[in-house]
Amino acid sequence: MKGTITLTSLKKIPPSRKGEKRIFMWDDKVPKFGAYRTSTGRVVFVYQFRMHACRPTERLTIGRLGSLTPEQARSLAATAALKVISGINPIEERRAAFAAAEIDESLLVKNFVQHYLTNEIGAKKRRSAKNIRAVLERDICPHLGDRLISEITVPMVEKMLASLSERNPSAPRRALIQLKAMLNYAKRSQRIDKVAIEFMTPLLPPDRDRVLDTRELRRFIEAAHDLGGPRGDAYLCLLLLMKRVREVARMEWREINLEKWIWRLPEARSKNGKSQDIILPPGVIKILERQQPDPLLRIGPVFTLDGIHPVTLGSKMKAVIDANLHRRAELAAAAGRPMRPIERYVIHDLRTATATFLQDEELNVKTDVIDAALHHISGQNKVQRKYMQGKYVPHVGTALVQLEQAIDNIMADDDAWPGGRDLPPMGLQEMRTRVAALRAAWPKTGDKDDDESGNTG
């Protein structure tokens, strides 16, 4: 069939039958532009061409009637004809465009994040993999997920960081660091040519200056006692050893020299990647002995509920601590010893509180010993980092004994243990009510109060 392809003439094309040749109508305006009707009655536009006399004929499907009018299909056929004359195969060009689209899909931030987490972070078994995933999926993907990694610009990132700063002061810094790391990986793996945000500098969040005062420390110790069990004891050891959550919560018996009671904090669980020897003070030794009285059974995790897995001290346990802390403060007020409302604090603030406590005139522990107790290595040169830690082991041991004695004095005060040393357990509803009451005036950060990442300072 031949003629001008129009809506009227297309009605004359009979449907194709399965197993038989299709019946085409060829246009008399644009050579090789044609149409046929499928067995279901749909009209399909095509353009037929040959790239070279010795090459076979090829057929480009232009589209269907309904999606295209005959005039639009004719125009597309004319464009394809010009490409053939120029030596461009329109079918191969379309395939290349589809392939490029598939590549682009993999380079969307939300898709590339998963590739990066698997092939870079997971492959290298990064200790902080969980936190990196959280930042990328929680903070970056919601803002930039539908953008190509090659399209990320400074204004886009600035807008994202401004939004994150409303939730938490430190969130923008974490997001920028992880986004730059991912884009630098994309550049190294030749997926992008340059990193547009390469010279953006992460803003440091304001230093936390929250220091728990003596009465707050007293209430915290009482709350840890009220929590009881291995988790309550782990919280007490956090305070007495000036350590981070995961450093103590995941302590194992094999890390402790039970003859000398020296604990070697392994480098794998230390934030700075360096091991540390700590001479345990008497109070901590009693706590540890309480976990497993039989020396022959001291294997596996020290603080455990089932003998196999270490305890977790995340946000749920922090809520229990806060509920008990609120009850103790209420009991102190009822006994005529009210205290000011407890401002927002995180477990990591215990390190700041004890470090400040050791600097008190009465204890007067030197700053370098306090830094060694906190296991800080900033400001040290290579020689100091390698040799000086051993020098401070006895000094830190003495400082921890002084800290323990000072805390014993705090708990010997008349203000201690309002309502008695042992209080009845709280019900779930009372616990929720007390947590809400304690935190009512706290700023909303959008982050959990604490976790076991150990990534704070």
Environment class of residue 28 by beta-carbon count within 10 Å: exposed (0-12), middle (13-18) or buried (19+)?
A: exposed
Given this model, what pLDDT does residue 382 score?
53
Q: Say if residues 239 and 221 touch (Cβ distance below 8 Å).
A: yes
Coil, strand or helix: which one is 64?
Answer: strand
Residue at 194 is within a domain? no
User: Average pLDDT of each block of 10 consecutive residues along the chain (457 residues)?
Assistant: 93 89 94 94 95 90 94 95 93 82 79 94 84 93 92 92 82 91 93 89 64 93 97 97 94 96 93 90 97 95 95 94 97 95 92 89 84 75 54 90 94 96 95 96 62 44
Residue at 236 is within a domain? yes
Residue at 114 is within a domain? yes
Q: Do 295 and 373 belong together in one domain?
A: yes
What does pTM read for this prediction? Answer: 0.61
Residue at 226 is within a domain? yes
Among the listed residues 449, 438, 454, the one whose alpha carbon sits nearest the alpha carbon of residue 223: 438
Domain boundary among 102, 124, 150: 102
Domains in the chain: how many in total? 3
Residue at 193 is within a domain? no
Q: Do 219 and 345 belong together in one domain?
A: yes
* Bridge partners (DSSP) listed for residue 37: 15, 43
Q: Do 175 and 240 belong together in one domain?
A: no
Coil, strand or helix: which one is 329?
Answer: helix
Given this model, what pLDDT does residue 52 score?
87
Q: Say if residues 39 and 18 touch (Cβ distance below 8 Å).
A: yes
Domain boundary among 79, 102, 125: 102
Q: Do 7 and 64 belong together in one domain?
A: yes
Q: Do 41 and 151 belong together in one domain?
A: no
Q: Do 290 and 401 belong together in one domain?
A: yes
Given this model, what pLDDT does residue 455 score?
41
How many whole angstroms separate alpha carbon 198 and alpha carbon 152? 11
How many whole angstroms separate alpha carbon 392 and alpha carbon 371? 10
Q: Say if residues 210 and 349 touch (Cβ distance below 8 Å).
A: yes
Q: Do 423 and 293 belong together in one domain?
A: yes
Q: Do 227 and 264 belong together in one domain?
A: yes
Given this model, what pLDDT does residue 207 score?
55
Q: Say if residues 348 and 244 touch (Cβ distance below 8 Å).
A: yes
Q: Do 35 and 134 belong together in one domain?
A: no
- Phi, psi values for residue 359, rounded to 5°: -85, -5
Given this model, what pLDDT does residue 380 score?
52
Residue at 129 is within a domain? yes
Given this model, what pLDDT does residue 119 score?
92
Residue at 403 is within a domain? yes
Q: Say if residues 445 and 168 touch (Cβ distance below 8 Å).
A: yes
Which two tokens mark 326? Answer: 């609120």
Amino acid at 193: D
Q: Do 7 and 120 belong together in one domain?
A: no
Coil, strand or helix: which one is 46?
Answer: strand
Domain containing 222 — which CATH number?
Answer: 1.10.443.10
Residue at 457 is within a domain? no
Give the domain extent around 90. 2-102
Domain containing 41 — which CATH number?
Answer: 3.30.160.390
Q: Say if residues 90 and 84 touch (Cβ distance below 8 Å).
A: yes
Domain containing 167 — which CATH number?
Answer: 1.10.150.130
